[in-house]
Chains A and B, each alone.
Chain A
Amino acid sequence: MTVGLFIPCYVDQFYPQVGIATLQLLEKCGVTVEFPPGQTCCGQPMANAGFEHLTDKCSQQFIKSFGSYDYIVSPSGSCVLHVKEHLHVPGSERQVQSIANKIFELTEFLTDVLKIKALNSSFKHKVGLHQSCHGQRGLKLSQMSELVASPFSKSEYLLSMVKGLELIALDRKDECCGFGGTFCVSEEAVSVKMGKDRIADHLLHDAAYITGNDMSCLMHLEGILKRQKRKVQVIHIAEILNTPHT
Chain B
Amino acid sequence: MKERGGKDHAKLAERFNEDEPRVDWHDKTLWFVREKRDKAAWQIPEWEQLRERASHIKNTVLANLHDLLLQFESNAEQNGAIVHWAETAAEHNEIVRSIIARHGVNRIVKSKSMLTEECHLNEYLEKHEIEVTDTDLGERIVQLANEPPSHIVLPCIHWKKEEIGDLFHKHLGTPAGNSDPAFLTAAARQHLRDRFLTSRVAITGGNFAVADTGEVVVCTNEGNADLGVQLSDVHIVCMGIEKIIPSRDDLAIFLRLLARSATGQPITTYSSHFRRPRPGQEMHIVLVDNGRSTRLGSDDYRNALKCIRCAACFNTCPVYRRSGGHSYHTAISGPIGSILAPWGDMKKYADLPFASTLCGSCSNVCPVKINIHEQLYRWRQDLVKQGYAPTSKKIGMNAMQTVLSNPGIFRIGGWLGRKLLKRFPFMVNNRFNPWWWQRDMPEPPATSFREWFQKNRKQ
Do A and B come from the same complex?
yes
Inter-chain contact A223/B401, CB cutoff 8 Å: no
Quick one: which of B403-441 are within 8 Å of A by CB?
Answer: 404-407, 410, 414, 417-418, 433-435, 437-441
| Residue from the list A7, A37, A224 in contact with B407, Cβ < 8 A | A37
Quick one: which of B348-386 are within 8 Å of A by CB?
Answer: 353-361, 363-365, 377, 380-381, 383-385
Tell me, rounded to whole Å, the shortest Cβ–Cβ distance linking B311 to chain A: 14
Tell me, rounded to whole Å, the shortest Cβ–Cβ distance linking B80 to chain A: 42
Inter-chain contact A13/B418, CB cutoff 8 Å: yes
Inter-chain contact A176/B318, CB cutoff 8 Å: yes
- Whether, in the assembled complex, B298 has its beta carbon less than 8 Å from a beta carbon of chain A, the answer is no
- Whether, in the assembled complex, A39 has its beta carbon less than 8 Å from a beta carbon of chain B, the answer is yes
> Which residues of A have CB within 8 Å of B442?
14-15, 219, 222-223
Quick one: which of A48-84 are within 8 Å of B by CB?
Answer: 48-55, 57-58, 60-61
Quick one: which of A9-52 are within 8 Å of B by CB?
Answer: 9, 11-20, 23, 34-35, 37-41, 43, 45-52
> Which residues of B have CB within 8 Å of A98?
none
- Assembled-state Cα–Cα distance A193/B203 (Å): 41
- Assembled-state Cα–Cα distance A219/B359 (Å): 17
> Which residues of A have CB within 8 Å of B140?
none
A-B contact pairs, 14 of them (CB 8 A): A9-B404, A13-B418, A18-B449, A19-B452, A19-B453, A20-B452, A23-B457, A35-B450, A43-B404, A45-B404, A180-B359, A187-B319, A223-B440, A223-B442
Inter-chain contact B407/A13, CB cutoff 8 Å: no
Inter-chain contact B435/A50, CB cutoff 8 Å: no
> Interface 1/0s, chain A 117-143, versus B by CB < 8 A?
000000000000000011001100000
Given known contacts A146-B38, A147-B364, A189-B10, A223 and B439 CB-to-CB distance under 8 angstroms: yes
> Which residues of B have CB within 8 Å of A187?
9-10, 13, 319, 354-355
| Residue from the list B47, B318, B441 in contact with A148, Cβ < 8 A | B47
Inter-chain contact B438/A227, CB cutoff 8 Å: yes
> Which range holds the interface residue count of chain B?
35 or more
Tally A-B pairs: CB < 8 A. Answer: 216
Given known contacts A50-B383, A186-B10, A190-B17, A148 and B44 CB-to-CB distance under 8 angstroms: yes
Inter-chain contact B440/A183, CB cutoff 8 Å: no
> Which residues of B have CB within 8 Å of A174?
361
Given known contacts A193-B17, A194-B322, A57 and B38 CB-to-CB distance under 8 angstroms: no
Tell me, rounded to whole Å, the shortest Cβ–Cβ distance linking B37 to chain A: 9
- Whether, in the assembled complex, A206 has its beta carbon less than 8 Å from a beta carbon of chain B, the answer is no
Inter-chain contact A50/B380, CB cutoff 8 Å: yes
Given known contacts A146-B364, A148-B45, A178-B357, A16 and B447 CB-to-CB distance under 8 angstroms: yes
> Which residues of A have CB within 8 Å of B45?
148
Tell me, rounded to whole Å, the shortest Cβ–Cβ distance linking A129 to chain B: 16
> Interface 1/0s, chain B 3-45, versus A by CB < 8 A?
0000001100110110010011001000100000010011011
> Which residues of B have CB within 8 Å of A57?
401, 405-406
- Whether, in the assembled complex, B323 has its beta carbon less than 8 Å from a beta carbon of chain A, the answer is yes
Tell me, rounded to whole Å, the shortest Cβ–Cβ distance linking B30 to chain A: 12
Tell me, rounded to whole Å, the shortest Cβ–Cβ distance linking B440 to chain A: 4
Inter-chain contact A224/B439, CB cutoff 8 Å: yes
- Whether, in the assembled complex, A93 has its beta carbon less than 8 Å from a beta carbon of chain B, the answer is no
- Whether, in the assembled complex, B397 has its beta carbon less than 8 Å from a beta carbon of chain A, the answer is yes
Question: Chain A residues in contact with chain B, CB under 8 A?
Answer: 7, 9, 11-20, 23, 34-35, 37-41, 43, 45-55, 57-58, 60-61, 133-134, 137-138, 144-149, 172, 174-176, 178-195, 197, 219-220, 222-224, 226-227
Given known contacts A14-B445, A48-B377, A183 and B401 CB-to-CB distance under 8 angstroms: no
- Closest 7 pairs (CB-CB, A-B): A223-B439, A180-B357, A50-B380, A19-B449, A57-B405, A146-B364, A50-B384
Query: Which among A12, A174, A181 has the highest number of chain B CB atoms within 10 Å?
Result: A12
Inter-chain contact B384/A180, CB cutoff 8 Å: no
Inter-chain contact A223/B452, CB cutoff 8 Å: no
Which residue on chain B has the smallest CB distance to residue A195?
B439
Contacts A172-B31, A191-B357 aside, 9 further interface pairs with beta carbons under 8 A come to: A9-B404, A15-B445, A47-B381, A146-B364, A148-B42, A180-B357, A194-B357, A223-B435, A224-B439
Inter-chain contact A40/B357, CB cutoff 8 Å: no
- Assembled-state Cα–Cα distance A179/B447 (Å): 25
> Which residues of A have CB within 8 Å of B381?
47, 50, 52-53
Inter-chain contact B410/A54, CB cutoff 8 Å: no
> Which residues of A have CB within 8 Å of B400?
45-46, 54
- Assembled-state Cα–Cα distance A214/B442 (Å): 15
Tell me, rounded to whole Å, the shortest Cβ–Cβ distance linking B443 to chain A: 8
> Which residues of B have CB within 8 Å of A38?
407
- Whether, in the assembled complex, B459 has its beta carbon less than 8 Å from a beta carbon of chain A, the answer is yes
- Whether, in the assembled complex, B333 has its beta carbon less than 8 Å from a beta carbon of chain A, the answer is no
- Assembled-state Cα–Cα distance A186/B353 (Å): 12
- Whether, in the assembled complex, B232 has its beta carbon less than 8 Å from a beta carbon of chain A, the answer is no
Which residue on chain B has the smallest CB distance to residue A19?
B449
Inter-chain contact A183/B48, CB cutoff 8 Å: no
Inter-chain contact A148/B48, CB cutoff 8 Å: yes
Tell me, rounded to whole Å, the shortest Cβ–Cβ distance linking A179 to chain B: 7
Inter-chain contact B397/A16, CB cutoff 8 Å: no
Which residue on chain B has the smallest CB distance to residue A78?
B358
Which residue on chain B has the smallest CB distance to residue A62?
B405
